[in-house]
Amino acid sequence: MDSRRSIAWASLALLAVLTGASGALAYHSYELSVHQLRAGLNKAPSLAQKGFFLIDVRSPEEHATGVIPGTDRNIDFREIKARHREIGAKPDDHIVVYCQSGHRSHIAAETLADLGYRHVYNVKGSMNAWLEAGFPVAPPRR
C-alpha cells in the first residue's frame, strides 16, 4: 500500500475512533456511520486509492439501481463466504461493507471477520442512511 493510501486509510480509521465508531463488544467487526465513510472517501487522493475495499452486499438487482461512489465489488451477502476471495483482500486489509439497511452487511461483516479478516466495517444504516444524508449515488461499475 503506498503512503497516500496509508494516509487515507489512517484518516478513516482515526475519524472512526474520534467520532465514536463502535466496535461491538459481542462482535468482531466494527461500525461506521455514512458520515465517517464519506469523510474517509473524501480524504482519499482518489476513489481508486482510498486504502480500503468497499463492498456492496446487496442483491445484483439492488446493486444495479446505484452504489456508493468508490464501490469496488458487489457480492450478495449470502455468497460472501464462498466468494470472499474475489475481494482481493489480505487478512490485514480494511474492508467496508454495506447493504440497503445495514442488517445484511452486518451479517457479511461478521462472516468476513469469522474468515480471518481483522479490519471489517459495517456501514450503519447503509444505503438508506447514505441516501437520507443526501450523498451522491453512482452507477455500478461494469
Q: How confident is the model over 76-125, as pLDDT tens digits? A: 999 999 999 999 999 999 999 999 999 999 999 999 999 999 999 999 99
Residue with cell 461512489: 69
d(CA 68, CA 58): 12
Number of domains in the chain: 1
Helix (H, G, I), strand (E, B) or coil at 86: helix
Residue 139: inside a domain, yes or no?
A: no
Q: What CATH number is given to the structural domain containing 48?
A: 3.40.250.10
Please report, for residues 8, 12, 62, 126, the alpha-carbon distance to residue 2 in angstroms, rounded to integers and kept in the order given: 10, 16, 33, 28
Residue 12: inside a domain, yes or no?
A: yes
Res 24 pLDDT > 50: no
Q: What is the mean predicted confidence (pLDDT) over 50-75?
A: 97
Domain that holds residue 61: 3-132
The beta-strand segments (E) located in 14-105 are: 30-32, 53-56, 73-74, 94-98
Residue 44: inside a domain, yes or no?
A: yes
